Amino acid sequence: MESKRSFSEEDFTCPVCCDVFKEPVLLSCGHSACSTCVHRYWDTKGCRECPLCRKRSATNPPINLALKNLSQTFLEFRGDPETLCDIHGEKLKLFCVNDRQAACLMCRDSSKHVQHCFIPVDEAASELKGVVMSAVNNLKMKMKSLQDVQFHCHQNINHIKQQAEYIRNQIKEAFKKLRQFLQKENRAMMTQLKKDEQQKTKNLESKIEQMNREIQSLSDTIKDIKKKIEFEDIKFLKSFERTLAKADYKDSDPNVASSEVIDVAMYVGNLQYRLWNKMQNIIKYTPVVLDPNTAHSQLILSADLTSVRDSDDDHEDKADKLRPPVLDTPGRFRSLCVLGSEGFTSGLHCWDVEVGNSTFWMLGVTTENVQRKEPNIFTRGAWGIGYDGEKLCARSPLGVYTPLTSPANAKVVRIRLDMDLGEVWFLDPASKAVIHMFSHQFTEKVFPFFHSMCSLSPLKIMPLRPFVVLEDIP
């Protein structure tokens, strides 16, 4: 009996692309090739001829249906090599949970997999796809976090530019009065400010560029992982470990630090005092300079950062519209407070504050780590006295509310902070009377604080007379 002829892959291989026929067409000469291969060959040669024998062929050769069907049957019979076991050649139907790899029935019964747990490949693929999708979701969350920080970086860049513009205006105003003596200093400060602005902007832009690259990398990784998730089960399982390894994203540090904004007080605070040796007759020195980066957005600070008052939309003047730009940073208070720009860890420090006719104010000191987003700073580290329009009182972190007797017609309050002795004194400099005293051993840096809820009368830090050596407050 004549044996059946066995077909090989060569019988179904396109002579042009050397792959199994796809949509084979029958040429006039009797040869066949993939439709795509034939037309690509014709486009390249510029004439319609057989790629094998060069014989002219019809413009639109017909599909070789018999060969197409045989090729499809051959592909089905041959099967996908990736679905077969590399060791036994059997179809991969199981997944070894212990070794995390696909296996055939013979693998299951081999000594290599003794007492191993097996599940169907479709069940394993479904479960592990869920693991990969969870990793993808984590990547999406990380990308969203980076995008949020990037948005805040853009906000900070705009804020820095606004701060720089505000500082620039204040510097110009100061140098307007001193121009004939201070042109050199003017140029030096402008250069430093510009350098500071550019450096901080450059740092943030560099961070944005870094995050752009990370975001793009995450986006590409997500796309690549999603493509692999769409693979057939076996192909997916074989690439599962590598795919999951791609999803192991190591966080960079995308946070924006408070120090990345311009230190306004460094430029504006005590500006005239730093130039006293050129213009001593008109120089003023203020022992405490307010830090606008800590001020509640409703507060209005003077241009020289020595006074503060509450704003009043019904009585806003031109000066209010020129106040510095405000950005909600971690260091800004949610209550109507502002800190001095310099903190103290040791020594004796004094400053006088003119309260004038203010109807609601509080003055004192607070620790550097006070909770700035809480409505009441006294519960977390502040010592001070205040006036609510009717009575004077003292407050401290202990929650003690102590009524005080105000000296007659006292318009100025002197705060005397002795870090070494752990004492905070509140005095009336006119009568030398003691208003109140706190005793506390401070263990961290302490800052002056000011609280105002009056729009008509500001709290003003009084200047000292400048000398080569400052006159001590008695």
Digit-coded pLDDT (tens) for 84-139: 787 877 778 889 988 888 988 888 888 888 889 999 988 988 888 899 999 999 99
Average pLDDT (421-442) is: 92
- Rounded distance, CA 284 to CA 281, Å? 9
Domain presence at residue 426: yes
The pair phi, psi for residue 241, each rounded to 5°, is -60, -45
| Model confidence at 403: pLDDT above 70 | yes
pLDDT class of 465 with cuts at 50, 70, 90? confident
Which CATH number do you get for residue 75? 3.30.40.10
Q: In this predicted structure, which of 112-116, 177-181, 226-230, 371-375 has the lowest mean pLDDT?
A: 371-375
Q: Are residues 206 and 345 in the same domain?
A: no
Domain presence at residue 291: no
| Model confidence at 378: pLDDT above 70 | no
Between residues 330 and 380, the one the model is more confident about: 330
Report CA-CA distances (Å) from 118 to 108, 165, 301, 428: 8, 69, 73, 86
Q: Are residues 66 and 151 in the same domain?
A: no
Average per-residue pLDDT in the chain? 84
Strand ranges of the sheet holding 412-418, from the earlier edge strand across to the other edge = 299-301, 307-310, 459-461, 348-354, 412-418, 423-428, 433-439
| Model confidence at 320: pLDDT above 60 | no
Q: Are residues 207 and 154 in the same domain?
A: yes
Domain presence at residue 86: no
Q: Are residues 276 and 303 in the same domain?
A: no
Q: Are residues 136 and 252 in the same domain?
A: yes
Average pLDDT (396-420) is: 84
Q: Are residues 348 and 456 in the same domain?
A: yes
Our count of domains for the chain comes to: 3
Between residues 190 and 183, the one the model is more confident about: 190
pLDDT class of 421 with cuts at 50, 70, 90? very high
Task: Give the residue numbers spanning the domain of 399.
Answer: 299-312+331-462
Residues 366, 367, 369: CA angle, nearest 5 degrees: 130
H/E run at residue 325: none
Which of the 8 DSSP states describes residue 464? B
- Rounded distance, CA 370 to CA 100, Å? 53
- Rounded distance, CA 186 to CA 172, Å? 8
Domain presence at residue 1: no
Average pLDDT (162-170) is: 87
CA of residue 441 relative to chain centroid, distance: 37
Given a contact cutoff of 8 angstroms between Cβ atoms, the answer to whether 259 and 155 are in contact is no
**Residue 358, Cβ neighbours under 10 Å: how many?**
22
* Euclidean distance between the first and the last CA atom of the chain, given in angstroms as a whole number: 128
Match 């003023």 to its residue by tokens: 284
Q: Are residues 135 and 47 in the same domain?
A: no
Say what the pLDDT of residue 34 is.
Answer: 92
The pLDDT tens digits for 8-29 are: 667 888 888 888 888 998 888 8
Domain presence at residue 430: yes
Q: Are residues 66 and 168 in the same domain?
A: no
H/E run at residue 45: helix 35-45
Q: Are residues 272 and 153 in the same domain?
A: yes
Q: Are residues 209 and 336 in the same domain?
A: no
Q: Are residues 336 and 264 in the same domain?
A: no
**Predicted TM-score of the model (pTM):** 0.57
Between residues 348 and 16, the one the model is more confident about: 348
